[in-house]
Structure 1
């Protein structure tokens, strides 16, 4: 089935902070366009967006949802994106394939700051966007204050496209800032024109003057008109809005109450008039000459409960037909999506966002084409992991299935990562926060029948020695009938500078230990180092074989290996073993107003502050550098977000090992499980 439309298409992402009402806004868009006959709500779990079980369990978006509808002969594909910072990767991936974005937010001053990272991403990629101030029936600040607060966190100038008409705390209408025509809202119907409210004349005049002055910064003719007090024609203002929005030079602002459909129709009209067409977006993205071959890009990968793979793609060029071969893989079908509902189509052209089935081996962000040599399109970089859990299948027999299931999980969500830790031998799942990982674990259980047990990852402590010991003797003698076993060594053991690891040398003279047995000595030392007297791997140690003796019949490499282990067991406790912990180099990004709290947070976690400075290319933000013990990192992201309204972030990398303070080391060793891992 191919639905005909005459007015082209628009692909629009719905983005914004958690609880701003994006999913409700999507329901309203679908309702007023006639795509659905009845609106669902998040509480009842019957919305088109948030249709996954994991989303409905939590009453929050955890992955993108696509929905298509037709309005005035134009096909709109809306992509509802999660608001939680823990699922920002979903949002960023989807934004790479749209023509414009609607930023949904609340008129609450304290929450405006949460928009800053989103605005920055949109502007870094020059993605045109509008703001829809939702929940105006709950506004706690004046309209002009709302605009001022939004301007403070946007890197592009904001222009009020509407001025809301309030009656007490209720939104009852709006003034169109282009025509200065006032309208009154009605439940379930379009707004009607009404006389201009005289009591708003002064406020509206201020906001409109700011809008025109902002547009005039990009249009000399409009600037001349304003300087000469000439009222610009409405068509000129609309043309400027379209041009400046399409170039991501200004951000128009609308107001409404999505729950009552207020403000939704005017916003749709503005998208029709002013949002860039798919063709102009493609010109920006396909910067190089590409010929005429079909080109698409994967915005999201889904594994459906039935086990089928769906790839949500933006078609940038050419036509996709049923069964087309892309990147050497034959597609299984083409579908338009309405949440979890799928409508099969035979072909789609450039500018569409659809789902393709069975693209095995294709990942989110990949560029698809029928041609072998097509330049890869830019894609959002995977977010760095900041929170971890150690996982294990509840049933031992499921271990063989785990790797395959996690691979699919990572295809769906590139901001997840996993590792088999070499020191602790744990499988560690990394992500963007606690909820993020628990959603992933729910998917393992539901989709792949892999219930998992979890615990905090063990800290990979090490140990070293503080002082040298000389001529430590180790003799291994064993007689069990026939040939015996005999090895005899003397070792010097000394500490090395931090980070040097392990070195083995020998100063044997006169053949007291034959050459063929020396590798056995080194192997015995290395085996001992894997599990020192405190229970952890031993590092930064030099061991020198200085002397020994052998038996012509009973000596062997294995006997010298055992002798070396005995010498280490005797010598290391004399060398004052001490516990080491991994120290991370961490760079924390925070709004400047929270910098002092971040410094306190780091200091309270035994962090060593290295300094802080303004964050590059982020006005009003700081970057704080510090050393942080890995043992203190687990909940760091949770506390950081709590201090910074959810917008704080950090980059980390392993830096060095450092001695654990004595009292803390005692507690760690008491709780150690005896095999080199701290619980």
Structure 2
């Protein structure tokens, strides 16, 4: 049944929710193919994947890891991807370079919803994928119920490739739905053929008919056979599975227990037979055959303690040799990876995933080539930041090193972002959640010796005025021997409509304030408005210079600047200062079963709900649009995820400034600008 394959490599991502057992599955795949002689465990911190200290401390994947192995005449490169939503950028970047993906999940129907964003990404990018239902030794639901739950979150039809044989809650074997041969599992060895279990005949038949009918939707010949009750040939079924998996038309489903290697060999055999060849993937990505110039894409960037910078790349076309110049950068070495182990090679062929060393200036997602190249290769969209911390080096002298270290962090992880905030003057690190930022801070400390202290970012409050005052007098007179300082002004101050900013004009008549001093008046006004009577920048204010006086000898631009500041200090207190807070327009995406909860979260955070409706290209999901004060957003993502099984997300934009309620204003001012 095993057919000769065209190409010598396959690249497969292992993806799925947190705790589904992806890293354990990788260990099992490496063990049954002979790449390792002894399996590690996440608990013991000795797996091939998750070798970074940040991963082992947390017992969870925090970045992708690559591992090469061989099975029959194929070289497989498996990419172990993080399951936490906070590290989804790692997963999306890696998926852009693979031939297929294994979606690992648990047989728990209530958690199947966590697969929805991943399924959507795979289908939007037309990435072939299989499902491996892991931990079947803990299953307490019917197999067909699990299939039904999975189908509800996938836009592609799921087809069982095998049917599990259970004794109570113990997985003992499986029935291959193509051959209808039953097998019994053995610990540490391949499964043996056994007689067909008659008590499963009806259930197996239902699953097999569903598989054949799903395949027949894309094969008229198979459809005719089914209509005429003709049993299709096994080779025809396998051919359809390969074609329709490769075109992302169907999603085969497997069952097993990765910890015991159960179901791993049948999964591997299916990948060998049915996963698309690299040439097919390249064509799907828009690479036209016939040109041998090297083209590669960076899937991940590592900064390693020993080897420096490594760029994990998918070679789409041509060959990359040691010393090849790509994007004007000479590759310092080529390596096949097996976790943190690096095996040096002289050349990488099209279809392989390898690591290139010392590619300075090259970032994750970059397209690499030896000449000019039209970027037809799609890149994973960078996910938007949703959580922030203000960071301060523990040692003040380290401030000069911070920007360089953060630049390297961003090369490794493009979903991080940083800014020097113009109003609060804080250095703010943005990411996908608490754990995501803590991992980044751990790397700053471990790799770059930059320990940080953190705090929640300040809200960039502003202030304005509610009423007008006229002819506010400001006089600055200073005598200290020799020439003195004299400036004298009268100002009108009035509020502007929200969003108009600041306006300054003068209506001086008769030269009572000479023209050369008027810029000093405006400068004094602007300097005062940078820090108003409530302690925040002032907006939406108009100031008019209406009158004044000067001294032929003692007046100067500097003196009029000081006079204007004095007038503003007096006048602004008469104008009823008011505190303003930034209001964001937020679009929340959530499964519609959680919509009511999300509406309550928004309302409980002083939000104004503008409406909600179904997302056009995502069945069963709603988009809620609301105004939310920025002061209420810091922990919003944490509560949103806790109420939506971790899958809720949001996009935000600044919309407008709005007056803070009076009671809340008192609390903010008493706390020095914090809610």
* Matching residue of 1:501: 501
1:261-292 CA-to-partner distances (Å, cap 9, x unmatched) read 00000011101111101111111113457722
Map of 2:433 onto structure 1? 433
Task: Give the C-alpha shift of residue 376 in structure 1.
Answer: 4.7
* Alpha-carbon distance in structure 2 between the residues aligned to 1:667 and 1:561: 34
Q: Could you tell me which residue of structure 2 aligns to residue 423 of structure 1?
A: 423
1:181, 1:65 → 2: CA distance?
A: 35
Q: Deviations for 1:440-491, whole angstroms, at most 9, x for unmatched residues?
A: 0000000000000000000011110000000000001111111111100000
Q: Are residues 1:636 and 2:636 paired? A: yes
Residue 344 of structure 1 corresponds to 344
Find out whether 1:91 has 2:91 as its counterpart: yes
The correspondence of residues 257-336 of structure 1 with structure 2, limited to 5 A, is 257-287=257-287, 291-306=291-306, 308-336=308-336
Q: 1:503 to 1:324 in 2, by over 3 A?
A: same
Q: Are the counterparts in 1 of residues 40 and 48 from structure 2 also a CA contact under 8 Å? A: yes
1:391–1:454 Cα contact (<8 Å) kept: yes
Query: Which residue of structure 2 lines up, in the alignment, with residue 227 of structure 1?
Result: 227
Paired residues of 1:7 and 1:72 also in contact (CA < 8 A):
no
In the TM superposition, what are the counterparts of 1:521-560 in structure 2 within 5 Å?
Answer: 521-560=521-560
CA shift at 1:141, angstroms? 1.3
The answer to whether the 8 Å contact 1:462/1:580 transfers is yes
- Distance in 2 between the 1:485 and 1:321 partners? 74
Give the corresponding residue for 1:616: 616
Counterpart residue number, 2:9: 9
1:319 Cα deviation from its structure 2 partner = 0.7
State how far apart, in whole Å, the 2-side matches of 1:49 and 1:669 are: 50
- Report the CA distance between 1:330 and its aligned residue: 0.5
Offset of residue 374 of structure 1 = 4.1
- Number of residue pairs aligned between Structure 1 and Structure 2: 671
User: Are the equivalent residues in 2 in contact too, given 1:581–1:629 (CA < 8 A)?
Assistant: yes
4+ residue runs over 6 A deviation: none
Over 3 Å counting, the alpha-carbon distance change for 1:39 and 1:352 in structure 2 is same
Matches within 5 A, 1:473-512: 473-512=473-512
> Does 2:165 match 1:169?
no
- Please tell me the root mean square deviation across aligned C-alpha atoms, in Å: 1.0
Contact 1:335–1:345 under 8 Å retained in 2: yes
Native 8 Å contact 1:105 1:133 kept in 2: yes
Aligned to 1:54: 54
**Shift in Å at residue 616 of structure 1?**
2.3
2:667 maps to 1:678: no
Q: Where do 1:346-495 residues align within 5 Å?
A: 346-495=346-495
Deviation at 1:229, TM superposition (A): 0.5
For residues 183-202 of structure 1, the aligned pairs below 5 Å read 183-202=183-202
What does residue 214 of structure 2 align with?
214
- 1:50 and 1:156 map into 2 onto residues whose CA distance is 31
Whether the 8 Å contact between 1:366 and 1:376 is mirrored in structure 2 is no
Asked whether the 8 Å contact 2:7–2:278 carries over to 1, the reply is no
User: For residues 350 and 534 of structure 2, what CA distance do their matches in structure 1 show?
Assistant: 64
Shift in CA distance, 467/6, structure 1 to aligned 2, threshold 3 Å: closer
- d(CA) in 2 for partners of 1:406, 1:238: 49
What displacement does 1:373 show? 3.2
Deviations 1:179-232, CA, capped at 9 Å, x for gaps: 100000001100000010000000011111111111000000000000000000
Q: Is the 8 A contact 1:105 1:132 kept in 2?
A: yes
CA shift at 1:434, angstroms?
0.3
1:603 maps to: 603
- In the other structure, the counterpart of 1:35 is 35
Q: List gaps (5 residues or longer) in structure 1.
A: none
Given that residues 318 and 350 in structure 1 are in contact (C-alpha distance below 8 angstroms), is that contact kept between their aligned partners in structure 2? yes
Report if the CA contact (8 A) 1:307-1:447 is conserved.
Answer: no
Alpha-carbon distance in 2 for matches of 1:139, 1:505: 76
TM-score under structure 2 normalisation? 0.98
Distance apart, 1:348 and its partner CA: 1.3
Aligned to 1:238: 238
1-side partners of 2:238 and 2:373: how far apart?
A: 41
| Offset of residue 377 of structure 1 | 1.7
Cα distance in 1 for partners of 2:228, 2:337 equals 52
SS at match of 2:666: helix
In structure 2, C-alpha distance between the alignment counterparts of 1:212 and 1:331, rounded to whole Å: 48
Return 5+ residue gaps in structure 2 as ranges: none
Distance across 1 between alignment mates of 2:224 and 2:286? 36
Q: Residue 615 of structure 1: CA displacement?
A: 1.1
SS in 2 for 1:624: strand
How big is the shift at 1:78?
0.1
Q: Secondary structure at the match of 2:599?
A: helix
